[in-house]
């Protein structure tokens, strides 16, 4: 089981990891954190380096969302693209991707950039100094990508205090609208039980026009593993992909 420690220096949030050459995931030391158990705090001697998310974590988040290769109007009329990305992410979606479908690779490049520049730092801030497994990191990142509420989440505070039962229970406080409950349960089970739910595929929807709504009846399943492995590679081994905002 893989794990990651969050620590800070004067410049940025970083992950403290010790990585064997053959492993593409986060490793810190042999006595690793176990989902559901009391949190481990960072110990002296753990090497501090910066890294990004893993293929499994990215697959898990995408499985809760979907990929739409051109800009569409979401349920409240906001122009959205790729894996739920809007202009508020810092990357211009509209009008750039209106009537301009992109490759799956391009969609995932920008998705990874948004995770790395916006969502991972917030998770790192909240769990600064605590050892997380890859499963816990993935669940927390997925939760924050969906809610934007990791800094306010009572479950995170309870977990850091060692009250695992309360943390598990309060995770489900974030269950509105009701349609989000299946996702929240999967994130809870990933964080506390280490149970992944993704099969490595993404659901891809085309866009209906002139309404610019996703065409829910024409979903396609796409294996995104090879693209993510090419983008992310073994942890820390591939260059960071920068995107034009």
* DSSP-based three-state secondary structure for 75: coil
Q: Is the pLDDT of residue 243 over 60?
A: no
Q: Is the pLDDT of residue 15 over 50?
A: no
Q: Within 10 Å of residue 83's Cβ, how many Cβ atoms?
A: 23
Q: Is the pLDDT of residue 22 over 90?
A: no
* pLDDT, tens only, 132-182: 888 999 999 999 999 999 999 999 999 999 999 999 999 999 999 999 999
Q: Is the pLDDT of residue 4 over 80?
A: no
CA 209 to chain centre: 30
154 or 41: which leads in pLDDT: 154
pLDDT tier for residue 41 given thresholds of 50, 70 and 90: low
pLDDT tier for residue 6 given thresholds of 50, 70 and 90: very low
Mean pLDDT of the chain: 82
Label residue 98 exposed, middle or buried (CB < 10 Å: 0-12, 13-18, 19+): middle
* Most confident option among 114-118, 127-131, 154-158, 233-237: 154-158
pLDDT tier for residue 50 given thresholds of 50, 70 and 90: very low
- Is 0.85 topped by the overall pTM? no
* pLDDT, tens only, 74-117: 999 999 999 999 999 999 999 999 999 999 999 999 999 999 99
* pLDDT, tens only, 186-223: 999 999 999 999 999 999 999 999 999 999 999 999 99
pLDDT tier for residue 233 given thresholds of 50, 70 and 90: confident
Closest to 115 measured CA to CA, from 238, 237, 234, 232: 232
Boundaries of every domain in the chain: 3-229
Tokens representing residue 74 in the block? 């979401």
Predicted local confidence at residue 130, as pLDDT: 85
CA distances from 96 to 83, 101, 193 (A): 15, 10, 41
Predicted local confidence at residue 28, as pLDDT: 36
* DSSP-based three-state secondary structure for 126: helix
pLDDT tier for residue 16 given thresholds of 50, 70 and 90: very low
CATH fold of 3-229, please?
A: Lysozyme (1.10.530)
- Rg, the chain, Cα only: 18
- Point out which residues pair with 6 in neighbouring strands: 15, 128
């Amino acid at each position: 089981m893989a794990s990651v420690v969050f620590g800070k220096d004067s410049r940025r949030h970083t992950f403290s990891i010790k990585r064997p050459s053959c492993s593409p995931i986060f490793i810190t030391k042999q006595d690793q954190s176990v989902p559901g158990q009391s949190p481990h705090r960072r110990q002296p001697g753990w090497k501090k380096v910066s890294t990004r998310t893993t293929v499994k974590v990215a697959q898990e988040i995408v499985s809760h969302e979907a990929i739409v290769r051109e800009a569409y109007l979401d349920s409240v009329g906001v122009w959205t693209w790729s894996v739920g990305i809007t202009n508020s992410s810092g990357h211009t979606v509209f009008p750039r991707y209106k009537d301009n479908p992109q490759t799956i690779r391009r969609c995932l490049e920008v998705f990874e950039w948004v995770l790395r520049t916006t969502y991972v730092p917030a998770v790192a801030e909240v769990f600064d100094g605590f050892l997380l497994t890859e499963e816990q990191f993935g669940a927390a990142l997925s939760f924050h990508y969906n809610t934007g509420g990791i800094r306010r989440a009572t479950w995170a505070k309870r977990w850091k205090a060692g009250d695992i039962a309360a943390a598990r229970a309060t995770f489900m406080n974030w269950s509105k609208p009701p349609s989000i409950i299946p996702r929240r349960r999967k994130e809870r089970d990933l964080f506390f039980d280490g149970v992944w739910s993704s099969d490595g595929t993404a659901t891809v929807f085309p866009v209906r026009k002139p309404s610019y709504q996703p065409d829910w009846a024409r979903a396609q399943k796409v294996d995104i593993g090879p693209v993510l492995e090419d983008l992310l590679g073994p942890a820390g081994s591939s260059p960071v992909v920068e995107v034009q905002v």
